[in-house]
Structure 1
Amino acid sequence: MQRCQLLTHSPSPNTFKPAVPIVVPGARHLHELVEQRLPASGQHFGDSILSAAGAPRQETAGQCDHSGGDEAHSPQPPTALPLRVRVPQCAAGSGTTITQPSHSHRTAIRRPSFTRCPSSLPPVPALLPPPPPHRRGRHDGAMRSTCRAQAAGLERREERERPEPSSAMRQRLVHLDMKGAPPRAAYLAEVLPLLRAMGATGLLLEYEDAFPYAAPLEALSAPHAYSWTELTELLGRAAELGLEVVPLVQSFGHMEFALKHEQFAHLREVKMFPNALNPHKEEARALVRAMIDRVMELHRDLRWFHIGCDEVYYLGEGEESKQWLQQEGNTPEKLCLSHIKAVASYVASSYPTVTPIVWDDMLRGISEETLAESGVPQLVQPMIWDYAADLDVEGKVLLIEKYRRCGFSKVWFASAFKGATGVNQSLTLIGHHLKNNLQWLKVASSIPADVLQGIALTGWQRYDHFSVLCELFPVAIPSLAVCLQALENGGYSERVKENVEKLLGMSNLELDTFMRSVGAASPRNGPQMKGTPSHLNIRHYISGIAPCILTSQQNLISEFSSIPELYVTGWFSPYHRKRKIIHPIIMHHFQPDAVSLLSKWNTVVQDLQAAMEQVFHKCTIEEWMEENVHPSLEKLQQVVDDLDKAIKAQN
């Protein structure tokens, strides 16, 4: 029986780095979003799409366990990108150890990540042993511009006539990571026209446990997985809009959603860890083939299929791999390439018109000779990912040149618009992601035009299957809009800024602070936007809660009521509360306001939860509330309870 539950996952002391609570400055100066319509479809834009978000959290434990297997901060400055996962140093042992290059942010993070950061990162575990392993007619520039003008309610004839800058990325895929908080299908259907209007040309759909697998793979599908009908309709809508669809199915690393189940646990590379597949077992490859075939059944006329293969931690550490590595000529690199080749060959032979894509981090440290001799370059297109704001342009150009010498005909880039600046990040810092995408434009302008296939803007929902939620998708839409527009126009300018503001109905786009809404919900302001569908208010409510719920009850009180903070710290401190001591005058002024404040906050939170239910499934809402709201609300509740006890003691 699959279940939804909150759990704390800590594979090893070095795997997760405690996050620093995020303090969001100022609760005022917020941006009011104006609802817009697309005349052709009647879809709502602007605030309607920006209708969900996350508030910074105080703790890092807990997550929504989607499949019920048997096993179950301060914003970082652009130059200090937090790592997704800290990988423990590999235990010493026989065989060669491959350490991911320090510039690979992925090595410390989760799947396609950014250029993994800091040198403080422990080396990635040995990548060891082995066994052998369009749809739609695209809209032309004029049609795309027209669509955007309709979405924003604007007349932009000059945009329709202006050709795309030569430096712009022709293929711009928006990555939808389903493993953390898959939005309801109806919400996604509403979002697709906006993505197209913002400049997306396609979707990179990472289903994980949200795909409707059939027997004997039904255990892989979470309780909230999409139905076959829902996805069929969603893909049909994408085709109508001219959005290229590229499915992503992990086939080597990041296999927790499958290997955590008892029936697949014997397919692990290392018995203890559910992250990587054992490349020596034919049954493991049969599992991958079955997943690919099931996903292919739903998708027609595909040109690309992403097979993952990133961050295969502990590869070579399994018993079978250790034995294999002892044989002359066998290396961890060959083991890795053997499995990638086996999976890619299956896709190429079974679906001749489809080209496999792989994340490139496991290939970066392999020698040119080994790569060229493996046969992998003739089968796949590597997707080079790096999410750092200070991405090394020259280093990326050299890496691309290496890949070309090895035989890769085309490459993809992968930037990020969210989910890459902190394992428990809840509000998106647009400036960081814009800088990252602008760096990728520099890389694109430094290589031959025929080498680049396109770019995927990743939006990670979790760093891995067991980690907490990053920013929820709706709160990152301003970041996505900015990044897409910058890529489409070959850079960022005042005109691009105005385009985004008009498209999303924003009065003033902020790049270096967290975007919030004017008149955001709070006990002081109360509910807003009467008569508007509840799901359109989610971002409004979150925007008000974020700056205050994440702080202590003292700041909550001083910010949103007439209760001075000194009442709490000076006359009702932990010492007073423990001994039930309170001055009658303070009690007279303090107690009524505290009770009123708690009541108002409870109302705001209830309204938020009701609005979120229109966009997310119950388990996602419960996890978000548990992580972001309940801790501080419970503190305020405790203050009120202690007041009651002190008053009773006085009487």
Structure 2
Amino acid sequence: MDGQKFPVDGGESSETKKVNFDLTLVHLDLKGAPPKVAYLAEVFPLFSALGANGLLIEYEDTFPYFGELLPLRAAHAYSPQEIREILRLAELHNLEVIPLVQTFGHMEFVLKHSKFSHLREVQIYPNSLNPHKAESRHLIQAMIRQVMELHPDVQWLHIGSDEVYFLGEGEESKLKLSNGSLTMEELFLSHLKAVATYITSTFTGVTPIAWDDMFRGASVHTLTDSGVPSLLQPMIWDYTSNLDVENRIALVEKYRQCGFHKVWLASAFKGATGANQQLTHIGHHLENHRRWLQVAAAVPYGALQGIALTGWQRYDHFSVLCELLPVGIPSLAVCLQTLKNGSCSEQAIAWVKSILGMSELDIESFASDLSGNFPGSEVFGLVTQIYFFLKPSVKEFLEGHRILTGWFSPYHRKRKMIHPIMVQQIQPEALSLVSRWTPVLEELHKALLQVYPPNAAEEWMEENVLPCFMKLRELVSDLNSALENLT
């Protein structure tokens, strides 16, 4: 299945200066809840219709590594054939693919394994790579080679390199820093240059991209002398709703002064407002994009290569899942149309509602309307229903029911103590809630399995639904036990 056809015009507005990015990328964070290829076939044409023309694909452990890198490959990783199909679908819908391979920080999916743990910057922390070991560079080069083998036609390769926590705290780094042979900035830039040099010298026509946070504070002189600006393009990321426009304009100018030929921006359409966030706050992400538009409009023409709308699925390899991709699609639609039209006009929002099949869309808060006929809309509707109705109803019952809190407290439940007449005041409502929500949970689990592999569906259910629902089931069980204790 190659996906349904969508209209391609959301209308334009003259309210704000339009910014034409060469590439507008939707970020697919696959290190948590990687969608099935069949779902991607449905959603890629929607991305394209909404204004995207590229994908930034962060595989992490879902890439089919092999040979010496086989330990990195998760049980639910895509097969090589599935990767090729994803690339075919992307090309079919005019979406340029840029793979992302972490090469410095956020290396937990690699360094957690005993085979590679000796390559950690700090031995007890699996997040950052030791840049001084020849084996570290061999590892990175092997990862890049395998990814490039399945992506032979790409023009860019994102090499990550953000949030290299504890850099400089390893023993080898401490030695070099203490004897004055390197500064912290030079330590980081030296490894970045080595990775970028390997790519540009090995893969003709491929330009590396790197997150900019680790060299954002470096001086123009340090960056220029490092040789990095001639090798890669920086991607400035800021996912906040109060983004400092003037500061980001100045940062773009600084990078141009250093010799970077092109600069990328990175916003967020989901996954940036809380590690365990379940619903996407559209208003936060819309304001983030409004401010990035101001930055883009103010910098010199031709300075920007493009923008990536990030959609984080985990904050890092060990964190819980945040908003699922189907839940974030209304936000993505609003943000893409805002970028395309230069503002969030009423006409554009009306078109978004039409293309998503939604009767209402609150662009300043959460999309609480349960309607929709976009790919994954059933997941979106059920997650929203559980968040706004199931959890509050169970919480209100367990914590606010006068008879339950007064006559069947945790003390009473532990000792199976209850007055029989009070059971009649508690049990019917408890059973009614269980009966009401059991089919909803079953529907959600089924809907999740249409989009995700079983482990991702189970993780989301266990993290976000079952703890609440099981409290209800346990109450019913305790009531039954207390009644049996009376007979």
The residue type paired with residue 43 of structure 1 is: G
Q: In structure 2, the residue corresponding to 1:361 is in which secondary structure?
A: coil
In the comparison of the two structures, how many residue pairs are matched? 486
Residue 150 of structure 2: aligned partner: 298
Question: Higher helix share goes to which structure?
Answer: 2
**2:27/2:56 contact within 8 Å kept:** yes
Q: In structure 2, the residue corresponding to 1:320 is in which secondary structure?
A: helix
**2:362/2:368 contact within 8 Å kept:** no
- Residues 191-210 of structure 1 correspond to what in structure 2 (within 5 A)? 191-210=43-62
Residue 544 of structure 1: aligned partner: 385
**1:168/1:490 contact within 8 Å kept:** no
| Distance (Å, rounded) in 2 between the aligned partners of 1:637 and 1:401 | 59
RMSD: 2.5
**1:255/1:275 contact within 8 Å kept:** yes
Residue 325 of structure 1: aligned partner: 177
The residue type paired with residue 317 of structure 1 is: E
| Distance (Å, rounded) in 2 between the aligned partners of 1:540 and 1:401 | 43
| Distance (Å, rounded) in 2 between the aligned partners of 1:217 and 1:579 | 54
Q: Please report how far the alpha carbon of residue 303 of structure 1 lies from its aligned counterpart in structure 2 after TM superposition.
A: 1.5
Any stretches of 5+ residues in structure 2 without a counterpart?
A: none
| Distance (Å, rounded) in 2 between the aligned partners of 1:476 and 1:309 | 25
The residue type paired with residue 448 of structure 2 is: M
Residue 606 of structure 1: aligned partner: 442
Q: Does 1:365 align with 2:225?
A: no
The residue type paired with residue 588 of structure 1 is: Q
Q: Please report how far the alpha carbon of residue 620 of structure 1 lies from its aligned counterpart in structure 2 after TM superposition.
A: 1.2
Q: Please report how far the alpha carbon of residue 203 of structure 1 lies from its aligned counterpart in structure 2 after TM superposition.
A: 0.1
Q: Structure 1 residues 295, 639: closer, same or farther in 2, change over 3 A? A: same
Q: Structure 1 residues 264, 500: closer, same or farther in 2, change over 3 A? A: same
Residue 66 of structure 2: aligned partner: 214
**1:170/1:488 contact within 8 Å kept:** no
| Distance (Å, rounded) in 2 between the aligned partners of 1:453 and 1:436 | 19
Residue 3 of structure 2: aligned partner: 43
| Distance (Å, rounded) in 2 between the aligned partners of 1:537 and 1:331 | 52
Residue 76 of structure 2: aligned partner: 224
Q: In structure 1, the residue corresponding to 2:451 is in which secondary structure?
A: coil
Q: Please report how far the alpha carbon of residue 290 of structure 1 lies from its aligned counterpart in structure 2 after TM superposition.
A: 0.9
Q: In structure 2, the residue corresponding to 1:399 is in which secondary structure?
A: helix
**2:207/2:232 contact within 8 Å kept:** yes
The residue type paired with residue 252 of structure 1 is: F
TM value normalised by structure 2: 0.94
Q: Please report how far the alpha carbon of residue 579 of structure 1 lies from its aligned counterpart in structure 2 after TM superposition.
A: 4.8
The residue type paired with residue 190 of structure 2 is: S
| Distance (Å, rounded) in 1 between the aligned partners of 2:162 and 2:12 | 39
Any stretches of 5+ residues in structure 1 without a counterpart?
A: 1-40, 45-146, 151-155, 521-528, 559-563
Q: In structure 1, the residue corresponding to 2:127 is in which secondary structure?
A: strand
The residue type paired with residue 626 of structure 1 is: E
Residue 149 of structure 1: aligned partner: 7
Residue 399 of structure 1: aligned partner: 251
Q: Please report how far the alpha carbon of residue 648 of structure 1 lies from its aligned counterpart in structure 2 after TM superposition.
A: 2.5
**2:361/2:368 contact within 8 Å kept:** no
Q: Please report how far the alpha carbon of residue 300 of structure 1 lies from its aligned counterpart in structure 2 after TM superposition.
A: 2.9
| Distance (Å, rounded) in 1 between the aligned partners of 2:78 and 2:184 | 37
**2:359/2:371 contact within 8 Å kept:** no
| Distance (Å, rounded) in 2 between the aligned partners of 1:514 and 1:586 | 39
Residue 574 of structure 1: aligned partner: 410
Q: Identity of counterpart residues, as a percentage?
A: 55
**2:61/2:74 contact within 8 Å kept:** yes
Q: Structure 1 residues 273, 581: closer, same or farther in 2, change over 3 A? A: closer
| Distance (Å, rounded) in 2 between the aligned partners of 1:254 and 1:396 | 24
Q: In structure 2, the residue corresponding to 1:445 is in which secondary structure?
A: helix
Q: Which has the higher contact order (CA 8 A, sep 6+)?
A: 1
Q: Please report how far the alpha carbon of residue 42 of structure 1 lies from its aligned counterpart in structure 2 after TM superposition.
A: 7.6
**2:119/2:133 contact within 8 Å kept:** yes
- Residues 439-458 of structure 1 correspond to what in structure 2 (within 5 A)? 439-458=291-310
- Residues 274-285 of structure 1 correspond to what in structure 2 (within 5 A)? 274-285=126-137
Residue 459 of structure 2: aligned partner: 623
Q: In structure 2, the residue corresponding to 1:330 is in which secondary structure?
A: coil
Q: Give the counterpart of 1:565 among 386, 397, 401.
A: 401
TM value normalised by structure 1: 0.71
Residue 326 of structure 2: aligned partner: 474
Residue 286 of structure 1: aligned partner: 138
**1:168/1:441 contact within 8 Å kept:** no
Q: Please report how far the alpha carbon of residue 381 of structure 1 lies from its aligned counterpart in structure 2 after TM superposition.
A: 0.5
Q: Please report how far the alpha carbon of residue 639 of structure 1 lies from its aligned counterpart in structure 2 after TM superposition.
A: 1.5
**1:252/1:312 contact within 8 Å kept:** yes
Q: Residues 198-245 of structure 1: CA distance to partner in whole angstroms, max 9, x if unpaired?
A: 111100001100001110111111000000101101101111111111
